[in-house]
Structures are given as structure tokens and as C-alpha cells.
Amino acid sequence: MAEKLIYVLNGPNLNRLGKREPEVYGSQTLADIGAMLAARGADLSCTISMHQSNHEGDLVDWLHEAEDRGAHAVLLNAGALTHTSIALLDAIRSIKVPVIEVHLSNPHTRESFRHVSWVGQAAKGTIAGFGARSYLLALEAAAAL
């Protein structure tokens, strides 16, 4: 069976995982999550291409790149850009690759400004509230598409 390419895109401040508000986001680092995804990806015949940026345009470029490289799916944790970025909404709508929105915490149990997701309006689905396991659940969903 051919390997499925899965892009995992992480937005602003996710490079601070493990240090930033561990009571909200957990103690695992983004590198820890990447290692978990690589291990599970191998079981699912998936190759993980993981990226993080604090800059919106990088995320837009990587969404386009995912389609250009024939990715099977994209897991996107856009961080705070989830709630503000029309550019990400448009980028997701501009590609045919399914995007799964991922959140460590559950935005609907937090501040009201986090209840609106521009990313979610174009995503195939959303997995939120399970800490680092949200990424693994999203990977399993992506592999099954």
C-alpha cells in the first residue's frame, strides 16, 4: 500500500507547547506530538510532514504546498488564527485536500471570542479538547478518508 502524505500545520505560539499554560495545553511539546504522530503514522502507512510558524502567510503557503505535493489530508491547528484568519479560510477553500481542524483544548468551553472558527467553516471536521490525543484522533480520521 502506498504511503499517504499527511501535512500537520501548527500556528502561532504552538512552538511554546510544554511551557505555555500547561494547565490548558498540557505538558507535551510540539516535538513530543510530532514523535507520536510519526509513530502512529507508520502504523497507518502515513508519512507526516510537520510544520509550525507564528506567521499566517507560512500556513497559507503550506496549505497550497500540501495540494501541490498530493497530500492525502492536512491536520491544522491554527492556534489563535482559527478565530481571526479569513486568509486561512480562503486558502482551505482554494484546495481540494481535506483539512481537519485540531485543537488541544475545547474552544467552546473557553472565552467567547474562541467560539467562532473561520478554519472550521471550511474544514472537513474538527477534533478538539483531548490534549495531544486530538492530533492522534485527527490522524486516524485523516488516514481513513
Residue 43: which CATH number?
A: 3.40.50.9100
What is the model's pLDDT at position 22?
61
Whether 98 and 126 have beta carbons less than 8 Å apart is answered as no
Confidence of residue 105 (pLDDT cuts 50, 70, 90): confident
- Is residue 32 predicted with pLDDT exceeding 80? yes
Give me the domain span that covers residue 131. Answer: 4-144
Hey, what's the cell of 91?
486558502
Q: Give the strand pairing for 4-10 and 46-52.
A: parallel
- Is residue 112 predicted with pLDDT exceeding 80? no
Instruction: Tell me the residue length of the chain.
Output: 145
What is the model's pLDDT at position 73?
98
State how far Cα 118 lies from the chain centre.
14
Helix (H) or strand (E) holding 2: none
- The residue with cell 507547547 is 17
128 backbone φψ class: left, alpha, beta (φ>0; ψ -120 to 50)? beta
When mean pLDDT is compared across 28-32, 50-54, 111-115, the lowest value belongs to 111-115
Rg of the chain over Cα atoms, rounded to whole angstroms, equals 14
Residue with the larger pLDDT of the pair 135 and 109 = 135
At 52-97, the pLDDT tens digits run 999 999 999 999 999 999 999 999 999 999 989 999 999 999 999 9
- Mean pLDDT over the full length of the chain: 92
The residues assigned a catalytic role are 25, 103
**DSSP state at residue 130:** S
**What is the pTM for the complete model shown?**
0.92
Whether 142 and 44 have beta carbons less than 8 Å apart is answered as no
How many structural domains does the chain have?
A: 1
